[in-house]
Amino acid sequence: MFFASDNAGPAHPQVIQALADVNSGYAVGYGAEPGMDRVRNRLRDVFEAPKAEVFLVATGTTANSLALATLTQPWETIFCSPTAHIHEDECNAPEFYTGGAKLTIVGTDDKMAAASLRASIEGEETRGVHGPQRGPVSITQVTERGQIYTLDELSELTATAHEYGLKSHLDGARFANALVALDCTPAEMTWKLGIDAVSFGGTKNGCLGVEAVLFFDPGHAWEFELRRKRGGHLFSKHRYLSAQMGAYLTDDLWLDSARRANAACTRLATGLRSLPGVSFDLEPQANIIFLQMPRAAHQRLRAGGAEYYVLAGNPDSGAPDEMLPARLVCDWSISDAQIDQFIALARG
């Protein structure tokens, strides 16, 4: 019963098999292997973007940092949510890769609102050369709190960015989870709305460690390649990245895995919702739940071997009915049996 993170589950067996399949003979490295051509073409098809430039890296922090560094000057500021991974969980990687750009926090909510974004943009660059200059907007879809922007909400954000001549980046570490929840196409969730660059996650959804970065304007390609190399992120045996991504994109494995994770989360949420004393901080929309649960339930769960993050308070001692917040994440591999066992333990 592991609900601590969707990056702690295994890779999908088809992805492992793809590594074995590609592991024979010699292959030119550094992304020049045939498998990368197939990945590039496949992602261009998936995104209906025949001119998009596609690159692979091994971690989400890298995908975000390199994409943003390519879009941002060192004297600019990137607009993002207070809960954005680039702000809270990357140990200043965006500041490092951009050469010292700033992040401007938009509003106080997990999801940025267009009005808040506008206010933040207006708040910068009233000082000419003295203040940070306006840089790109980075949007996280699914958010770190498990929320999903509707296409209309995304459109309002990108329209606001473009009104000021700013680029926009989508942190899609859970791109597939959002896509299946919205039931739209990749193009509809990105370039048709004016998104310029996408971090397209694979790691959390069944790969070992691979993320794609897409630029819909191919003019960024060479700079990105140089940044990737000098960041140490260009793999010599690149075939093992393209094999992962290739398998992930084959026969809609990426969409199936996301549907599994989201469905698991729905099953989990439905079960928990019926329990006395349990409440959701936010309505779950993808594969993440933020909830409040009595200490007694936490104690039963932990004693029963469930793993997840209690976000505040001491689950081990205190009043049994005190509510403690927790985060639960479902990955593609979680079984119904595990979910049901979790609910049963919580119910007590």
225 binds a second copy (CB under 8 A): yes
Closest approach of a second copy to the CB of residue 33, in Å: 9
Q: Is 326:183 a contact under the CB 8 Å cutoff?
A: no
| Residue 167 makes contact with a second copy by CB under 8 A | no
- Rg, C-alpha atoms of the chain: 21
Q: How far is the CB of 115 from a second copy (least distance, A)?
A: 18
In the chain, the amino acid numbered 21 is D
**Residue 318 sits in the site that holds a second copy (CB under 8 A):** no
State which of positions 17-36 bind a second copy (CB under 8 A).
19-20, 23-30
Provide CB contacts within 8 A for 169, sequence distance 6+. 64, 67, 68, 71, 136, 137, 138, 139, 195, 196, 197, 198, 199
Residues 237-256 that bind a second copy (CB under 8 A): 237, 240
Is 115 a binding residue for a second copy by CB under 8 A? The answer is no
> Which span sits near a second copy by CB under 8 A: 9-17, 35-43, 138-146, 182-190?
9-17
Q: Which residue has the tokens 């979910």?
A: 339
**Closer residue to a second copy, CB minimum distance, 58 or 117:** 58
Q: Does 9 bind a second copy (CB under 8 A)?
A: yes
Task: Please tell me whether residue 274 binds a second copy under the rule CB under 8 A.
Answer: no
Q: Write down the least CB distance from residue 321 to a second copy, Å.
A: 26
Q: Which residues ranging from 56 to 85 are in contact with a second copy (CB under 8 A)?
A: 57-62, 65-66, 73-77
Instruction: Answer whether 79's CB lies under 8 Å from 137's CB.
Output: yes
Within residues 287-316, the interface with a second copy by CB under 8 A covers 307
CB 313 within 8 A of CB 324: yes
How do strand 323-329 and strand 288-294 relate by DSSP bridges? antiparallel
**CA-to-CA distance for 251 and 259, rounded, in angstroms?**
14
Quote the tokens at residue 115.
Answer: 């009005």
